[in-house]
Amino acid sequence: MAKIMAVNAGSSSLKFQLLEMPAEQVIAQGVIERIGMDDAIVTIKYGANGSEKDHADVTLSDDGKQDKYSVVTPIKDHQEAINFMLKQLSELGIITDFNEIVGVGHRVVAGGEYFKHSVVVDDDVLKKIDELADYAPLHNPANALGIRVFQKLLPHAVSVAVFDTSFHQTMPEVNFLYSIPYEYYQRYGARKYGAHGTSHRYVAGRAAELLGKDLADLKLVSMHLGAGASITAIQGGKSFDTSMGFTPLTGVTMATRSGDVDVSLVDYIQEREGLSNEEMLAVLNKKSGVLGISGVSSDMRDLRAARKEGNKQAALAIDIFVNRVIKYVGQYITEMHGADALIFTAGIGENADWIREEIVAQLDYFGIKLDPAKNAVNRKEAVISSPDSKIKVLLIPTDEEVMIARDVQSLMA
């Protein structure tokens, strides 16, 4: 048995999960938010069936199965955040020695065409992750920073980079190339790379198990619907097409990201608003999506409540979100000449049965039908389609951390 940590470092946050492998048992999980501020928020959940430890800051979590440590404290940077997290893992009795953590897997958003699989991190890998910062400017620099800090604090542990884009490296040229001069692809790697690959890879594998079929024989459409959202066509266990593009900005409408938009319109607005390139990108990344349409919130729960109160823009934002999803689903079913199953996953996909209902209702042309009783569950693996549905509909909670830990264990072996 070995302890492996899965890490997702953001620009001002750090999410982690500590797993016992190969049992895939979660020992602890947590998040540090607002890094760089005096009121950083640290949350760690750990243990099973409660804890006998007497700690002033530990309370029983909502599910009654895990203890929860939480504190608000100044944390100036990622090194301090990781130091603090490791110290708490020790003080809470979760680990007794840092050497127990034999591997650390890091989620990295952009791997370009360099990385078709997860890799053990060396100087060359880190250099390439830095080079690819332009492909994911909000993510790759933070991912690289997290790797460097963990390598410094846990030098004995094997560091592994797990790329969101690597799963999509199997897409054919006809699906990943843009209709721009081919030389831009040759010179600059201008193409579709996609994202959420680790999530899509995980749920595809679980779908095959739920259906009792060989993954190589299946055609799947995976809907990773969260604050960031992407749709992926998976054929024979491989990514065939995906909605996100050169960066995670394009594709379906998201929480604050615009999704697909005419680039000429971007130039038109930028000129009239007097916005710099950086400011325009900030609008598209942080002020658009359902937040920009509704003017209410980026959270689907808030939008649903506002719709019930008669807010037309909130209703429109939901309708546009659903509309963009079904456009990609319909396209991918057609591209693959059919599908065996649709998969709902991630925050919205797993928790919003009403969104699943609204999406599937608009896919009835394909003979897809939900079973209302089966759909009335959240965050639980289930076949939620009716027996007479021509395409199965699955609800599968994603587990990117397990995929990361599996990759670390495989590469360590």
Which residues are catalytically annotated?
Answer: 164
Q: Are 164 and 107 in contact (CB under 8 A)?
A: yes
CA distances, 130 to each of 31, 105, 137, 211 (Å): 24, 17, 10, 40
Strands, sheet with 238-242, edge to edge from the N-terminal-most edge strand: 238-242, 229-235, 219-225, 341-345, 392-395, 382-383
The two counts, helices (H) then strands (E), for the chain are 15, 15
Residue indicated by tokens 């919130």: 297
Quote the CA–CA distance of 270 and 264 in Å, as a whole number: 10
Quote the CA–CA distance of 100 and 97 in Å, as a whole number: 6
Quote the CA–CA distance of 14 and 88 in Å, as a whole number: 14
Quote the CA–CA distance of 225 and 355 in Å, as a whole number: 10
Angle between helix 140-153 and helix 123-131 axes, rounded to 10 deg: 160
